[in-house]
Amino acid sequence: MIFCSLYSGSSGNSLFVASSRTKILVDAGLTGKSIISALENIGEDPRELSGILITHEHIDHIKGAGILSRKYGLPIYANEKTWVAMESCLGKIATENIRIVGSEFTVDDLDIRAFRVPHDAAACQGYTISAEGKKVSVATDIGVFTEEIRRNIKDSDLVLLESNHDVEMVKFGPYPYELKRRILSEIGHLSNTDCGLAALEILKEGKKKIILGHLSGTNNLPELAYKTVENILVEKGLSLGKGMDAELSLASRIRPSSYTEV
């Protein structure tokens, strides 16, 4: 399987996931134009996509979903509550492209499982996508790392895990009090430290590629996110690098990240 983060961060999210036969996006939270240009940038043709999975209705996850669906006839997959919450923002979607899904479904040869994550949206969910004996997981927009998340992503080969903010940067940053409270709450976003602890849990189950994503542009720095998670893992005796306990990397907020094969 192939995984490539086109954009991952508070200003917009869209991930490309593919088996040798099927290509999909998880979220489409930037303009259609930005997503098409990112796909072209990594050598992918948007006309070959089979659909878009939506995690939740926040604009940084759905902004371009309607336009891409109309332009390429793409089905949009989301749970019922998310459909209700996002439908008016998407514009007109052809009836056959409205796919209301439960916790398990398939898109061609991709076996997909949705799992609940705590976030202040109608019914936010993460996804595991399996094909050809490999499994890729997406877990962003999570206020806390729950047992349900751990259980679902445990045997993944690759996990995109949220490392949204540095707690001190939020506390002393420019956001209004209410927004700070929301980000730091159990239905907000995962901090760098909590991401490191979550990564530690996940790695107990075996080697993985872990990509840190959904970084805040205001309350985080890429090097800080990476270092914080790295320190937590190394302190517990894990070794990082190719073929080691974990391969740790970072998804960019503003451009496609490296094309990863699992």
Chain positions contacting Zn ion, by CB under 5 A: 58, 60, 141
**251 and 5 in contact (C-beta within 8 Å)?**
yes
3-class SS of residue 171? helix
Residue 89 backbone phi and psi in degrees, to 5? -85, -15
3-class SS of residue 40? helix
- Minimum distance, C-beta of residue 10 to Zn ion, in the bound complex (Å): 6
- For 247, the token pair is 């391969």
- Minimum distance, C-beta of residue 13 to Zn ion, in the bound complex (Å): 6
Nearest to 225 by CA among 203, 210, 245, 208: 210
Closer residue to Zn ion, CB minimum distance, 19 or 163: 163
Closer residue to Zn ion, CB minimum distance, 58 or 113: 58
Nearest to 218 by CA among 262, 261, 182, 166: 166
- For 128, the token pair is 């595991």
- Minimum distance, C-beta of residue 216 to Zn ion, in the bound complex (Å): 10
In whole angstroms, give the CA distance from residue 241 to residue 236: 15
Closer residue to Zn ion, CB minimum distance, 26 or 233: 26
- Please give the radius of gyration of the chain, using alpha carbons only, rounded to the nearest integer: 17
Closer residue to Zn ion, CB minimum distance, 159 or 203: 159
In whole angstroms, give the CA distance from residue 17 to residue 62: 17
- Minimum distance, C-beta of residue 11 to Zn ion, in the bound complex (Å): 9
Closer residue to Zn ion, CB minimum distance, 44 or 162: 162
**Hey, how many other C-beta atoms are within 10 angstroms of the C-beta on 59?**
11
* Residue closest to Zn ion, measured at CB: 58
Closer residue to Zn ion, CB minimum distance, 31 or 50: 31
- Minimum distance, C-beta of residue 165 to Zn ion, in the bound complex (Å): 12
- Minimum distance, C-beta of residue 50 to Zn ion, in the bound complex (Å): 23
